[in-house]
Amino acid sequence: MKKTIIIYGSTTGNAASAAQTIAEKLNGAEIKEVSSATKDDLTAYDNIILGSSTWGDGELQDDWFGFLPSVKSADLSKKTVAVFAVGDQFSYSDTYVNAMGSLYEAAKSAGAKIIGSTSTEGYSFNSSTAVIDGKFVGLALDYDNQAEMSEDRISAWVAQISPEL
């Protein structure tokens, strides 16, 4: 069984850049755009990291819509999943990183063990479906307003999830 795959959707490159940085810090994770992901990618790996930017009114990045049904209908009961999303907390304060909430729900309904929740400290927004019990369900990034914080946030998150992968 292979170890870790990162599957992401990105329109202007920010979520792609995050995925790349996560892969580098994880030392050897496979990385794939969601537009070319297949059901086999979900079965062939122990650990699956799902990422997206947030568009429209808190929606997943467009390329995700073709693959989300595959995630929902997969049996991920023996998999460990972590989620991340990119958004703009100031311009889209009511739907900040809602894409991460959608990825979380999909992985949860597929039975995955989900790791990697993080504090909302240092962010400023009204509401987000990615916040459960006061914490983000995964890693939240904001390249529009806090780009300089992304690297440290990714480092801390990778250090947090690594022991569980």
Q: Which CA distances in Å does 20 have to 29, 68, 134?
A: 9, 21, 28
Is residue 95 at the binding interface for ligand FMN, with CB under 6 A as the rule?
A: yes
Q: Shortest gap between Cβ of 6 and ligand FMN (angstroms)? A: 13
Residue pair 58/95 in contact (Cβ under 8 Å)? The answer is: yes
**Among the residue ranges 13-21, 22-30, 71-79, 113-121, the one whose residues contact ligand FMN (CB under 6 A):** 13-21
Q: At what angle do helices 147-161 and 14-26 cross, to 10 degrees?
A: 40
> Per rule CB under 6 A, is residue 143 in the interface with ligand FMN?
yes
Q: Running DSSP on this structure, what letter comes out for residue 38?
A: -
**In the complex with ligand FMN, which residue's Cβ is closer, 12 or 73?**
12
Question: Which residue in 74, 97, 106, 161 binds ligand FMN (CB under 6 A)?
Answer: 97
Stretch that binds ligand FMN, among 25-33, 66-74, 93-101, 149-157 (CB under 6 A): 93-101
Applying CB under 6 A, which of residues 6, 50, 81, 86 lies at the interface with ligand FMN? 86
Tokens standing for residue 17: 């850049």
Q: How far is the CB of 55 from ligand FMN (least distance, A)?
A: 5
- Residue 68 tokens read as 């989300």
> Is residue 100 classed exposed, middle or buried when 0-12, 13-18 and 19+ CB atoms within 10 A define those classes?
buried
Binding site for ligand FMN (CB under 6 A): 10-16, 53-58, 61, 86-88, 92, 95-98, 143-144
